[in-house]
Structures are given as C-alpha cells and as structure tokens.
Amino acid sequence: MEKKNRRILLKISGEFLMGPLDFGIDVATLDRVADEIKSVYENGYEVCVVTGGGNFFRGVSAAAYGMHRAVADNIGMLATVMNSIALQNSLERHDVPSRVMSAIAMPMVCEPYIRRKAIRHLEKRRVVVCAAGSGNPYFTTDTAAILRALETGCEMLLKATKVAGVYDCDPEKNPQAVLLEKLSHKEVLERDIRVMDHTAVTLARENQIPIMVFSLKEKGDLNNVLSSGENCSIIS
C-alpha cells in the first residue's frame, strides 16, 4: 500500500484488551498491542489511538437494565481513560513516547484533548492516545475514532479485531464464512453490517475516509496489513 500520508488512527476495543480474561486488562495482550504500535511507529507512521472501554463497562448494556443512558455512557467514557493510561504505560515501557488526551478534563492524570495540540504531538513523533470517546453520551468510541481521525488528518482508520475482517456471516460460528475484502460505506449501511455503528460509518462516508478492518491476533499483523493491504476488509 502506497504511503502518501503516514498518519493513521488505530481503534482498539476494550474487549480486545481483555485477551483471555473475562474482565479488565490482560497485560500480555496490552504489551503486544504496544509492540505492534512500536513496529509501525519505527516504520515512520504517526499513530493516533482510540480505545474502547467495554472490558470494564458498557453504557448500552447498563442502560438496558434501567440506568439512564447519559449516566451509563459517562461511566463508559471513564473506563476508556483507564485503558488509555494503561496503554500509555505499556508504550513507555517499549520506549515509545506518548501522550494521553482526554475529552473529559482530568489534568491530574492526562492532558485535555485539544485538536491543534494533538496534531503537534503527532508532528513531534509522539503517539497520541485519545481517551473518553467524544466526551458526549450517546456516541460510541467508533464514532469518536472517526472524529479524531478526521480532526488530526489521518489518512485512514484501522479497526483491530479478533478476525481477519468483515465476513458475510459470523466466522466463529460458520467456518464457511466468506471474507468481504472490498466494501463501500454505502454497502455497509444498506446491508446493516455491524462492523461499526451507523453514525461512525456515515461520518466516514461523508468525509471519504477509508476504514480497514483486520485481525491483530498475531505478531506483525499491523505492519503486514499496512504494507500489503491484504488479509483484511477495506471500506471506502
């Protein structure tokens, strides 16, 4: 894949950071994610990261049980801050300079998210980890990831999953599932493919930013998918 713009945004779900655990952060998985980021960082990419918080708390699930959705989403955003701080620590242990920038101000533990400052950190070769989603309830971290990618001038968004991309059915339930290598934003919306929420896909479509969905299960996956554009799904 031609590297016209070497600035990317990596979206990591909270569920992915659980690894084999049922709850919380698996440190081995966290360190492997940091190692993957380091490999592309050393290849010259400027990297922005958005983390989810589902390994600690899911606002939608809590709202379904009676909690007010705005309250539940606020708690979920705080969960992403925990993941982001943990990832920063792992990046630093891998000798990768990084900054956590939160949409909810909490200056004792991280910087507030300011677009121009985030861009400046990227230009100074620091990995920027964006926490607390968009800072607003009712919006997922997928939508926040697209928003941050657009704000910071990223060429594409990479969504890390446990499977190689988007399939015509659940590959974990059906071994005959077919990988859909090329999709349009419009097709994802019309077919109601739940790889990201519709708000995120619509925002990506309106601003013509591609989304690459890939597996981050093996060492070197992030570098490989960036260099080859293979073994993944590209939504553009």
d(CA 33, CA 23): 17
Q: pLDDT per residue over 105-133, tens digit each?
A: 999 999 999 999 999 999 999 999 999 99
Q: Coil, helix or strand for 205?
A: helix
Q: pLDDT per residue over 183-233, tens digit each?
A: 999 999 999 888 899 999 999 999 999 999 998 988 989 999 998 888 889
- Whether domain 7-235 has CATH 3.40.1160.10: the reply is yes
pLDDT score for 86 = 97
d(CA 29, CA 19): 6
d(CA 208, CA 203): 8
Q: What residues contact residue 120 under an 8 Å CB cut-off, 6+ apart? A: none
pTM over 0.85: yes
Alpha helix ranges (H) inside 43-94: 59-64, 69-93
pLDDT score for 154 = 97
Domain extent listing, the chain: 7-235
Q: pLDDT per residue over 7-29, tens digit each?
A: 999 999 999 999 999 999 999 99
Percent of the chain with pLDDT over 90: 75
pLDDT score for 73 = 92
- More confident site: 165 or 17: 17
Report whether pLDDT(2) > 50: no
How many helices (H) and strands (E) would you count in the chain? 9, 9
pLDDT score for 59 = 67
- Which range is least confidently modeled, 22-31, 94-103, 173-182? 173-182
Q: pLDDT per residue over 134-153, tens digit each?
A: 999 999 999 999 999 999 99
C-alpha atoms less than 13 angstroms from C-alpha of 155 in its C-beta half-sphere: 12
